[in-house]
Amino acid sequence: MPVVVDLAKTSLRELNQALHDIPEGSNDTEWEVLNPRGSHAVAAGVDKPISVDVRGSVGYYCGGMNDGGEITVHGSAGPGVGENMMSGSIVVKGDASQYAGATGKGGLLVIEGNASSRCGISMKGIDIVVHGSIGHMSAFMAQSGTLVVVGDAGDALGDSIYEAKLFVRGKVKSLGADCVKKKMKPKHLQRLRALLEKAGVTGVEPEEFTRYGSARTLYNFNIDNADAY
């Protein structure tokens, strides 16, 4: 049976402290959070292999710095869900606001609805799968990791991107500086297929996606490229 915490009766600080204080070897590995009512930083800083089911929508920074937890939001999430995530997984059953997965270093973030602007900004190893579409400036300065978008992407996708891999099935409104369409190789199809399966995406094939990445013209300053900076 999960440990049930009702945020209508218990403070958010008490919840997060309880999650941090779980002793090694404890059987309290399943948690259920009721009445989040848009609270900020729900399950932030989880650092153990536990599961947390949040029954409702959350505010800013849900699951921020997650390191090993499996967090599921049965609703939508405000800005910065999974920000700076290290490992584990976060699944948002609804939509996500701005900069989902920002600076994430590892783990898997799944958004079953749409994501707003700056999804995956400065990502550093995280894998992000969005079942719907994403907004403008997504994957800005993305350094490593993978962003998969089953729907469409807004303006300036991958602006100033480094070595992250972007896969978009739908239309891209525009590409950012130094982001270009790239050839889909067998290893990319294999990686994409595995991520789609892991994220619960059905009814689509990896071959339907287009890969985008860095043209590598902005790695070092060159006066000929000054207008692109």
pLDDT of residue 7: 98
Residue 210, number of CB atoms within 10 A of its CB: 14
CA distance 197 to 90: 15
Q: Which helix (H) or strand (E) holds 13?
A: helix 12-20
Asked if 181 and 165 touch (Cβ cutoff 8 Å), the reply is no
CA distance 57 to 34: 10
- Reference 91, options 66, 122, 118; nearest CA is 66
pLDDT of residue 229: 55
Rounded to two decimals, the pTM is 0.95
* Sequence-distant (≥ 6) Cβ neighbours of residue 96 within 8 angstroms: 76, 77, 81, 111, 113, 114, 115, 116, 119
- Reference 215, options 170, 174, 182; nearest CA is 182
CA distances to 7, 86, 152, 191 from 66, in Å: 20, 6, 27, 23
Go through the chain and tell me how many residues it has. Answer: 229
At residue 226, the 3 state secondary structure works out as helix
pLDDT of residue 218: 74
pLDDT of residue 25: 86
- Reference 122, options 78, 82, 70; nearest CA is 82
pLDDT of residue 223: 65
CA distances to 172, 182, 222, 229 from 13, in Å: 41, 46, 50, 43
The one-character DSSP state at 73 is E
Q: Indicate if the alpha-carbon torsion angle 23, 42, 97, 92 is positive or negative.
A: positive
User: Residue for token digits 């602006």?
Assistant: 159
Per-residue pLDDT tens over the stretch 57-80: 999 999 999 999 999 999 999 999
pLDDT of residue 226: 63
| Low-confidence spans in the chain with pLDDT less than 50 | none
Q: What angle do CA 106, 76, 78 make, to 5 degrees?
A: 70
